[in-house]
Amino acid sequence: MTADRTKPEVSTVYGAVRGRYENGIAVFRGIPYAAPPFGPLRFRPPAPPEPWDGVRDAGSFGPTAPKPPYSEAFAQYLSDPAIPGEDCLNLNVWTPEPGPGARLPVLVWLHGGALTRGSSAVPVYDGATFARDGVVCVSVNYRLGVEGYGLFPDAPANAGLRDQIAALEWVRASISAFGGDPDRVTVAGQSAGAISTGALLAAPRTRGLFRRAVLQSGAPEAADRDKVRRMVRRMAARLRIPATAESFAAADPAQLLRAQAEVGRFSSPVLGGPAFGIVVDGDVMPHDPLDALVDGDAARDVDLMMGWTRDEYRLWLVPGGLLERVDRLGAVALAGARARCHCGNEVVRGYRAAHPDAGAAETVGQLVTDHLLRVPLHRVADARPGSSYVYEFAWPSTLLGLGACHALELGFVFDSGDSPDSRKLAGEGAPQALADAMHGAWVRFAESGDPGWRAWDETHPVQVFGEGEPYVAYGPRDAEFDLWKADVTMRGMRTRRLVRR
């Protein structure tokens, strides 16, 4: 490291980088961890970057992965900067103490965005607050959409997941030079970032790369290969090209993004439909990650913190007026939700009975949220008592209709609620005490694996972050979860009866 207190220098495995000091925190942005995934590397696994001589400037965020913009309805709530350039496999580091010897805990952040949008440059993900509190923070860009998760006959699957593994390997090799402890790495992600974290937990290649994991509003899952292929084929039909990696690599990049946006219009958590996702590939992802974590021995030595927001679904339904349309559909919407969640009538009836004042949209939203997020995370916690911690974020946005929606907790986790980008979702008046509580829990978890409340056991403790002081509720959603367990049992009995016949 240089003696220049305005521009710290650190040596990585590929060359030296020069960052900036900002309010006492050393910040390094846009550091390449892999080569640009273009030309002969398009749709291929990540390759190491070319080492460089001299000192590379790391004062600005690097290019973001190719992605379509959010629709106008979502853009009013979610920021998503786009930075042009091919060197998009890059990461950022915030550290209070650059240089070897500090051995500070490390938090590696994987952004959300349905694996089609988002980046490490989103202002809400400012890692300075973690560094302020003694945690080295790393945020990662990875390939998105068809570039990262397309399924082709002539290319390996899961390129975006492979990028994330390459970033973790970079962290293992280089983070000590930034003051981090490679043996105290926590991987954390929200939404698609949490789904990615679940896959990384189950991937054999990540063993030894991290010690703890945080899954915010996303559960381990494997996408249906046919649905992913359908996305690729629909894009190919619009572009009038074969559904191969070779043909997609030769297509105009702007047209590729337009085609992706068009075919993905109905790929929401509530509506279902084809979508890009992590698939079982027999290589980096040999098994369904949920099965590997619940029934297998994957990542048994990794501490887990997992949770959700009370009203996840409101971010999926409020923009564009979908909430009102679902309410008008009533019974038709509930039947669609039952099909979307692959559950029996008993589950839907149970939700209606438990929440008689809820409209169709709220019932549909909670059904889908439980199916996608809460039930699988509950299963993971049940399989790993003593080393799992569960939370619920329940503070409602001051913006009309959003409630405690998907992604609202991010400004509190990063203690970035005073930024305009956080206020786009939270509105005005977000309580600083709540940010102190949530951010503090994430810091403690990165430091020790204990966020400050009771670990999961047979009493099902859930830390609730809402209005007023955080508190622990015991089994607050067990009644709903029992409906799903009973439904699985009933379907199993029906299947056995059919087999006997």
pLDDT at 491 over 80: no
Q: How confident is the model at residue 5 (pLDDT cuts 50, 70, 90)?
A: low
Confidence of residue 351 (pLDDT cuts 50, 70, 90): very high
Nearest to 318 by CA among 253, 255, 365: 365
Cβ-Cβ contacts under 8 Å for 103 (sequence gap 6 or more): 176, 179, 180, 181, 184
Catalytic residue among 176, 191, 397, 416: 191
Contact 90, 113 (CB under 8 A): no
Q: Is the pLDDT of residue 323 over 60?
A: yes
Q: Of 357, 360, 337, 356, which is closest to residue 347 (Cα–Cα)?
A: 337
Range 112-125 average pLDDT: 98
Do residues 334 and 362 make contact, with C-beta atoms less than 8 angstroms apart?
no
User: In this structure, are residues 145 and 190 in contact, taking their beta carbons and an 8 Å threshold?
Assistant: no
Catalytic residue list contains 247: no
Domains of the chain and any CATH numbers: 22-48+58-301 (3.40.50.1820), 322-501 (3.40.50.1820)
Between strands 471-474 and 388-393, the pairing is: unpaired
Catalytic residue among 111, 371, 406, 460: 406
Split at pLDDT 50, 70, 90, the class of 36 is: very high
Q: Does position 10 have pLDDT exceeding 60, yes or no?
A: yes
> Does the annotation count 460 as an active-site position?
no
Classify 494 as helix, strand or coil.
Answer: helix
Between CA 471 and CA 445 the distance in angstroms is 17
Region of residue 104 (phi > 0: left; psi between -120 and 50: alpha; otherwise: beta): beta
57-69 confidence digits (pLDDT tens): 999 999 999 999 9
Q: How many CB atoms lie within 10 A of CB 349?
A: 12
Q: What is the pTM of this model?
A: 0.96
Distance CA 444, CA 96 (A): 17
Active-site annotation holds for 406: yes
Q: Confidence band (pLDDT; 50, 70, 90) for 501?
A: very low
- pLDDT value of position 266: 75
3-state secondary structure of 235: helix
Residue 4's pLDDT band (cuts 50, 70, 90): low
Q: Render pLDDT for 393-417 as a digit per residue (tens, 0 to 9).
A: 999 999 999 999 999 999 999 999 9
pLDDT at res. 447: 98
Beta bridge partners of 26: 21, 95
Distance from C-alpha of 193 to C-alpha of 113, rounded to nearest angstrom:
8
Pick from 32, 5, 187: which is nearest to 97 by CA?
Answer: 5
Q: Is the pLDDT of residue 220 over 60?
A: yes
Record the tokens describing residue 87, joined without a space: 């060197």
Instruction: Give me the percent of the chain exceeding a pLDDT of 70.
Output: 97
Q: Please, what is the average pLDDT of the chain?
A: 94
Is the pLDDT score of 421 beyond 80?
yes
Mean pLDDT of 251-258: 94
Residue 269 has pLDDT above 90, yes or no: no
- Name the helix (H) or strand (E) containing 317: helix 314-317
CA geometry: angle 141, 403, 376, nearest 5 deg: 60
Torsion of CA 238, 242, 244, 249, to 10 degrees: -70
For CA atoms 61, 63, 65, 71, give the dihedral sign: positive
CB-neighbour burial class of residue 357 (10 A; exposed 0-12, middle 13-18, buried 19+) = exposed
On the question of pLDDT at 2 being above 50, the answer is: no
Q: What is the pLDDT of residue 111?
A: 98
- Residues 247-253: what's their mean pLDDT? 95
In the chain, DSSP finds a helix count (H) and a strand count (E) of 19, 14
* Highest mean pLDDT, choosing among 250-254, 335-339, 408-412: 408-412
pLDDT digits (tens, 9 = 90+) for 165-197: 999 999 999 999 999 999 999 999 999 999 999
Q: Cα 53 vs. chain centroid, distance in angstroms? A: 35
Q: Which band of pLDDT confidence, cut at 50, 70 and 90, is reported for residue 490?
A: low
Q: Which of 9, 147, 169, 312 is catalytic?
A: 312
